[in-house]
């Protein structure tokens, strides 16, 4: 059995969990009660608007979606709610147990205040930024060769960017394993730049790094079993299974030298 030891200097930038539920068109009237339940842990409230893709018989369109963000005092942890989704994200991740406890609290709040009927989707995303570490190794020492190897091209000049993506069917949905390797000022995935948590998003000058994104998703529309009841126990059990698969994926695409460097 693999020993998934804690990595005190892990390259993790943020972790995000997504819980999609059947639409609550009158969500706005519930926000004061949600805010009252969350204000001790997440005291900063911000109202934003996002663009969401809507698919209908008339085609695909973008629709504005009202969104409420609840943010911690130090801006490292946040929750986000709209009419069909709860997000929880943090850049202060220690172990899954603590992350799961926060998800438990937020789900219970949503159940107490809104009581959605169905869970239509789940997501668990881990996003890392891997650098060379002086005296301990390089990026190439820390990840499997398929994430950076391009020797077969044999071209003159130099690499600007190398992108990899793997989509793998799992027992709990599907897992995307993505990476971007090369020198750049951007230190996070483009879609993470607007997250309401404090993360280092860019550098003053280009730096060699590898962005590693492990995104495990479950979508009721793609499953024969269909949606889940919006039951906290069922949802957290599924999230825990998704975490175990994501953890194994991270362990397998990184090397033993990496674990030594990050321990």
Mean pLDDT of the chain: 93
Tell me phi and psi for residue 138, to 5 degrees.
-105, 170
157: containing domain: 124-262
CA distance 236 to 108: 11
What number is the average pLDDT over the span 233-239? 98
pLDDT in tens, 8-34: 999 999 999 999 999 999 999 999 999
Most distant CA atoms of the chain, gap in Å? 62
DSSP 40: T
As for how many domains the chain has, the answer is: 2
Reading the block at residue 258, the tokens are 């990496």
Q: What predicted TM-score, i.e. pTM, was given to this entire model?
A: 0.93
219: pLDDT confidence band, cut at 50, 70 and 90? very high
Torsion angles phi and psi, residue 64, rounded to 5: -70, 135
From 77, 81, 74, select the one nearest 31 (Cα to Cα): 81
Q: Which two tokens stand for residue 43?
A: 């005291």
> Terminus-to-terminus CA distance in the chain, angstroms?
19
Given 116, 147, 182, which residue is the final one in a domain? 116
Query: What kind and span of H or E run contains 44?
Result: strand 44-56
The helix/strand/coil state of 94 is coil
Domain annotation covers residue 150: yes
Of 116, 149, 184, which closes a domain? 116
Could you tell me if 94 and 199 lie in one domain?
Answer: no
SS3 for 132? coil
Comparing 5 with 131, which gets the higher pLDDT? 131
74/162 same-domain check:
no
């Amino acid at each position: 059995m693999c020993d998934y030891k804690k990595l005190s200097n892990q390259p993790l930038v943020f972790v995000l969990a997504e819980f999609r539920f059947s639409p609550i068109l009158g969500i706005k009237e519930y926000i004061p009660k949600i805010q009252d339940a969350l204000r001790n842990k997440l005291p900063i409230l911000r109202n934003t608007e996002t663009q969401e893709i809507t698919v209908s018989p008339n085609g695909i369109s973008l629709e504005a979606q009202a969104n409420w963000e609840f943010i911690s005092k130090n801006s490292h942890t946040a929750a986000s709610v709209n009419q069909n989704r709860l997000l929880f994200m943090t850049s202060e991740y220690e172990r899954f147990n603590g992350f799961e406890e926060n998800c438990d609290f937020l789900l219970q709040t949503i159940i107490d205040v809104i009581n959605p009927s169905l869970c239509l989707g789940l997501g668990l995303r881990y996003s890392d930024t891997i650098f060379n570490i002086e005296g301990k190794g390089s990026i190439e020492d820390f990840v499997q060769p398929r994430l950076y190897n391009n020797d077969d091209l044999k071209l003159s000049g130099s690499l600007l960017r190398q992108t990899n993506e793997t989509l793998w069917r799992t027992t709990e949905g599907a897992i995307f394993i993505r990476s971007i390797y090369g020198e750049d000022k951007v230190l996070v995935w483009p879609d993470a730049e607007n997250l309401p948590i404090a993360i280092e998003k860019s550098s003053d000058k280009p730096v060699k790094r590898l962005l590693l994104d492990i995104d495990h998703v479950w979508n009721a529309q793609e499953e024969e079993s269909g949606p889940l009841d919006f039951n906290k126990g069922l949802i957290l059990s599924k999230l825990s299974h998704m975490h175990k698969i994501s953890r194994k994926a991270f362990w397998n695409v990184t090397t033993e030298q990496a674990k030594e460097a990050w321990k």
